[in-house]
Amino acid sequence: MKSINIALDGPAAAGKSTIAKRVAAKLSMIYVDTGAMYRAITYKYLRVNQPKNIQHLIDDTTLELTYDEEQGQLIILDGENVTPFLRENDVTQHVSYVASQEPVRTFAVNKQKELAAKKGIVMDGRDIGTVVLPDAELKIYMIASVEERAKRRQLDNEERGIDSNLEQLKEEISKRDTFDMNREISPLRKAEDAITLDTTGKSIDEVTTEILSYVSKLN
């Protein structure tokens, strides 16, 4: 499916990246995790002590995406692979603020548009169907209950050897969603022509199959 782009949006921890990776692999497409780009910029923002002038920070930043057979997408920030640090708590806590800033969005969205120009991309995020790829051939808006999203995130964390509290996860997820939905620039919302897919109670296989069935209906 080299001739189409798929946009996958939705709130935090809805399972977008897991599903996007699967769908991309099944269709021999390339998966792009846009959240990781915002996380990388946030990582730098924290490393240089939260500067007031974010435009300067961006002017002084290079960001590239590369792909590794085993590890998948890698984010190279100013020449350094920062992928291992992007899920750190501190980054998660500040990413919504950093991602709400105009210079950051312009920088990231331009890169994302460039990546998708040749098609064959499955891209997940918050504004992919609305802003980055308004012409994507398929747009999915993935949702799930906060309870289920927090449980999935807890399992993810367990697999990575990180202990986490369910109530705290629920709070963190809800807070991030509220911020992302209410920011001025490109807030999280469903594109008018997106298909809503509620993944609550559904397995990864079921959701993947559902999306593949939408793809097969494209003409």
Rounded Cα–Cα distance for residues 124 and 21 (Å): 10
Q: Least distance in Å: CB of 191 to ligand C5P? A: 12
Burial class (CB in 10 A: 0-12, 13-18, 19+), 96: buried
- Judged by beta carbon, residue 1 or residue 153, the one nearer ligand C5P is 153
Helix (H, G, I), strand (E, B) or coil at 106: helix
Would you say 39 or 208 has its CB closer to ligand C5P? 39
13: annotated binding-site residue?
yes
Residue 127 has phi, psi (to 5 degrees) of: -130, 25
What's the rounded Cα separation, in Å, for the pair 127 and 10?
A: 9
Rule CB under 6 A: is residue 34 a binding residue for ligand C5P?
A: yes
CA angle 170-19-171, nearest 5°? 5
Site for ligand C5P (CB under 6 A): which residue of 1, 7, 12, 207? 12
Question: 114: buried, middle or exposed (CB in 10 Å: 19+, 13-18, 0-12)?
Answer: exposed
Q: Min. distance of Cβ 115 from ligand C5P in angstroms?
A: 12
82-to-65, 66, 103, 159 alpha-carbon distances in Å: 11, 12, 21, 20
Q: Specify the DSSP class assigned to residue 6.
A: E
Q: Can residue 172 be called a binding residue for ligand C5P (CB under 6 A)?
A: no
Q: Is 208 an interacting residue with respect to ligand C5P (CB under 6 A)?
A: no
Among 5, 83, 96, 130, binds ligand C5P (CB under 6 A): 96
Nearest distance from C-beta of residue 113 to ligand C5P, angstroms: 12
The stretch among 63-71, 126-134, 144-152, 189-197 that binds ligand C5P (CB under 6 A) is 126-134
Q: Distance (Å, rounded) from C-alpha 10 to C-alpha 87?
A: 18
12 annotated to bind ligand: yes
Q: Which of 180, 191, 197, 211 binds ligand C5P (CB under 6 A)?
A: 180
- Binding residues (CB under 6 A) for ligand C5P: these are 12, 34-35, 38-39, 95-96, 99, 125-128, 176, 180
Residues in the annotated binding site: 10-18
Mark the binding-site residues for ATP, compressed into ranges: 10-18
